[in-house]
Structure 1
Amino acid sequence: MFGGLSRQGLALALGMLAGAAAAQDFPVDPPAGAQPATTPPAGIAKPELPPAPELVTPLAILDRLVVPGTRLQLEWRPGGGISNAEIPSPVIVARGAMAGPVLCLTAGIHGDEINGVEIVRRLSHSVDPTRLAGTVIGVPIVNVFGYSRGSRYLPDRRDLNRYFPGSRHGSIASRIANGFFQDIVRHCDMLVDFHTGSFERSNLPQVRADLTNPEVLEFTRGFGSTVVLHSDGNKGMLRVAATAVGIPAVTFEAGAPTRLEPAEIAQAVSAIERLMMKLAMREDPQAKSDSPIDITSVMLEAPEPAPIFLDSRWVRANSGGLLISDVSLGQRVLAGQRLGRVIDPVSNVERFILAPVPGRVIGMSQNQAVLPGYAAFHLGTETSEQQAVREAAEPQPPAAVAEDPEDRPEAADSDDGADFE
């Protein structure tokens, strides 16, 4: 006996303990060539999970938070008590439920250009934030001073679109420009600024942009069949200042001041809707149609490629009198073709204005009384995008009239600094 156990019992107990030890599941290295347990069997693909959607956070702007999938109308006033006696500028923010760029739409920098006011109002309130990828910030009236008075200018006759990005310590125009630039424009990823012709002039709907800037050039490709005109712009313009800080920006010209023109407004609204589809901010309604696609009808309805007008020039009246046009906006003309005539009502003498080059009328003056030297017709020469970019990059002599001219029959003295391009 051993501790109460016989030799046979002790041997049996020791054998049972040895068998239990051998049966334990100890971690061991897998045999050479064996596959890890996590690898799916041959012939079964590993499932690919879709990437998690990007988290959309509320947008902080003008001391408010705009949550995704909502629209909020805010108010903007320049600081320093500049506009306490004026109505505030409305700022409509549609924060999309999905991630995307921030597109800013501005108008009313010139208070009498009301086509843009309606364009931005319509777009800002029609977009559905629950189906929007990105954000639309719409400011239909930037210059409330001029808008409330039906004037292009601020009360001191300064042109607000010559003072961006502005300064906190400059003139009233510079302070308003600085406040708007810091409070609104700095939130943008891209910007479209709406204008019309100046002083009883009308512009064919067109995008004006610096085509030497690659980001701006790419931006212009989203406006469908809208005319694109290369223009460096003037110092102090909103689009020039925005582009300088890395925010691609263009000017969208449409129609004439002091009036609402339904056709021009509708064309501009359609162009921005196409732009938003190009930026993947909204869905193409035709892409979700379940009906079969008719290739022939699609080819017929597709917009033609956007013509780009690089070389443009204003044709001036060489005499004073009553201007009567013989062409219409958008019309193609030949060199030497009569654009209009100026009639001296005192001497009853007519003098003709002829086209110096072939082209298309992209801007023109309304019939009115004019003085000698008045810019009456804006002609554009069509070219390809590649040629436009190449020639835009080459040094060019300064244009006789850049953008829309400031001169008018009753123009102020050029020495007062208020009217300059």
Structure 2
Amino acid sequence: MKFEQQLALKTIPSWAIYYLNYKKLKAVLYTDFERASNESDANESKVNSHAHGDDVTTGYTAFRALFLAEVDKVNKRYVEQESESSEKLKALKTQWKSDMSSETIEAWKSDFIKLLRKLENLSDFTQSNITACRKILKKADKVAGQPMTLRLWPLVTNLRFAKSESDEALLHDARAVWRKRAAVSIVPATTSLLEESKMRRLTPAVPTVSELDLASFPAGEISRVWVALAEDGMGLPIRVPVIIAKGSVEGPVVGITAALHGNELNGIPLIHRLFDEVLPAKLHGTLVAVPVANSPGFLLSQRGYTDGTDLNRVMPGKPNGSSPQVYAYNLMHRIIRHFDYLLDMHTASRGRVNSLYVRANLLDSRTARMARLQNPQIIVHNTSPDGSLRGAAMQRGIPAITVEIGDPSRFQKRFVRNALIGVTNILSQLRMIPDEANASEFEPVVCTRSFWIFAKSGGILTVHPDVNTWVRSGDLIATIHSVFGDLEEEYFAPQDGIIVGKHVDPVCQSGNRILHLGVVENELPAVVDDGHM
């Protein structure tokens, strides 16, 4: 299915006029650029090169003007709906009273459901238009033979609809209020059970399997399964969700894992959006994704397994070890071993924030290429540490990189979008999809090594520089005050470097991590481990 058709299917009918007019923009491209090129070829004697150049420039100007008008239209709609939704949420929070009559509660719930639908629509609207912008600029690069993406994409990312995360934050806040105030859906009293069942969203049954058998899935389709990795205290399977897009043509198997740390969530919407866009009929090879690799930790909203064990420290696990070791072993042997390439999606840990960065062994040409294609802000050379999923995959001969996508326990639209572009770049490089690699929004800083600076004492911590900024040797980077406000400790940069990540929780114990510093030197060390997996 062409993107224009996909966009039409995803368009919210009542908002249709506010979407990027992809069809019109495409028409401008073909009439203003291809026509100029064709006329130049057919009438070479009548059209000199100077005139042809003017024609192309005019075409670019026309496309640029229309594109900017369209994204401005999208942005105005976003700002309007975001503002209205924010005010409505505040009003509904204020209106709620525990002693309201049943009729008033029903009316409040009805209004709240409308708000939730509006916020969900706003989130879908935003993502659809961001994707449409990226697609039309990629097409413009090809048709015009000019770097349209490099020229126009930065203008898009400066607009509120593309850079703000307020819509996601509002939706998260609204859902939290709804769960607290009205956990059940409202169905009119006159609705029959049959009508009620039709109103609910029905999800087809997803089978549970004991191992991933890629040969069993139909080519040219997307399949979903649960893979059982262990059993809980009731003897029930502990399962992970797996999504498989099997191409119509044979090719490599690329695996993507997310939420191996249960509260590191940005990889989940990345996977969902990737599978919304992928066309299995045109895919060469197989794409396999595990949206939640640590399902027990995910359900507990915690980093580790049920007992707190960090699964990224016990890979490749043991068949007869502890509970987390058995889980890790089965994850490796039932799923990961089938991959030819692995992208392991993470975020910062709780209480910290990250840049968009990649950890990879840059001495390995395969993973070095994957890291650069990912288009991060920072690339950190890091040989695969023992116990990590990346290290276990590399030991099996599977090229693997770790992609750190921002912060924990939240969805960050801009980071997710840029990481998704990087994933599609890798798929393009492997010739799995027909798309060409996208231009990077960032020029990545390549760090030959990195290390953490730790707190010597406890107290109230303030880390001064922002992530993805440079510091010089001797710069003040952090201070610790006592609970009485007295300055206890100052920390200075031990050398020049870039801030890869930092601690943001003010409550600091001695031994806590303060700041992750990336260092740029002339040579890549043969072995380097920053202690961060």
**TM superposition score normalised by structure 1:** 0.71
Hey, what's the Cα distance between the residues in 2 that align with 1:214 and 1:331?
28
Distance in 2 (alpha carbons) for counterparts of 1:145 and 1:348: 42
Equivalent of 2:525 in 386, 392, 398: 392
CA distance in 1, matches of 2:484, 2:440: 53
One of 336, 340, 354 as aligned partner of 1:203: 354
Asked whether 1:184 is paired with 2:308, we answer no
**Matches of residues 377-416 of structure 1 in structure 2 within 5 Å?**
377-383=515-521, 387-388=522-523, 391-393=524-526, 401-403=530-532
Aligned to 1:363: 501
Tell me, yes or no, if structure 1 residue 269 matches structure 2 residue 420: yes
The Cα shift of 1:63 comes to 8.1
Unaligned runs of 5+ in 1: 1-59, 288-300, 405-421
Flag the 1:253–1:129 CA change in 2: closer, same or farther, 3 A.
same
Q: Deviations over 1:64-84 (max 9, x none)?
A: 721211000111111456785
Q: How does 1:294-373 map to 2 (within 5 A)?
A: 306-346=444-484, 348-349=486-487, 351-373=489-511
Q: 1:279 to 1:64 in 2, by over 3 A?
A: closer
Structure 2 unaligned segments of length 5 or more: list them: 1-210
> How many residues end up aligned between the 2 structures?
323
Q: How does 1:17-416 map to 2 (within 5 A)?
A: 61-62=212-213, 65-79=216-230, 85=236, 88-224=239-375, 226-284=377-435, 306-346=444-484, 348-349=486-487, 351-383=489-521, 387-388=522-523, 391-393=524-526, 401-403=530-532
Structure 2 length as normaliser, TM-score?
A: 0.56
Query: By how many angstroms is 1:256 displaced?
Result: 1.8
Percent identity, aligned pairs only? 29
For the 8 Å contact 2:377–2:442, the answer to whether it is kept is: no
The answer to whether the 8 Å contact 1:233/1:403 transfers is no
- 2:358/2:376 contact within 8 Å kept: no
The structure with higher relative contact order (CA 8 Å, sep 6+) is 1
Aligned-pair Cα RMSD in Å: 2.5
Structure 1: which amino acid aligns with 2:406? G
Separation (CA, whole Å) in 1 of partners of 2:365 and 2:426: 17
Give secondary structure in 2 for the equivalent of 1:272: helix
Higher strand share: 1
Taking a change above 3 Å as real, the CA distance of residues 341 and 304 of structure 1, as seen in their structure-2 partners, is closer
Residue 193 of structure 1 and its aligned partner are, at CA, apart by 0.5
Partner SS state of residue 354, structure 2: strand
**2-side partners of 1:86 and 1:370: how far apart?**
39
Cα distance, 1:177 vs structure 2: 1.1
1:118-138 deviations in Å (ceiling 9; x for gaps): 222322343111121111100
Displacement of 1:286 in angstroms is 8.7
> Who wins on radius of gyration, i.e. which is larger?
1
Q: Is the 8 A contact 2:251 2:284 kept in 1?
A: yes
C-alpha offsets along residues 12-68 of structure 1, whole Å, 9 cap, x if unaligned?
A: xxxxxxxxxxxxxxxxxxxxxxxxxxxxxxxxxxxxxxxxxxxxxxxx934872121
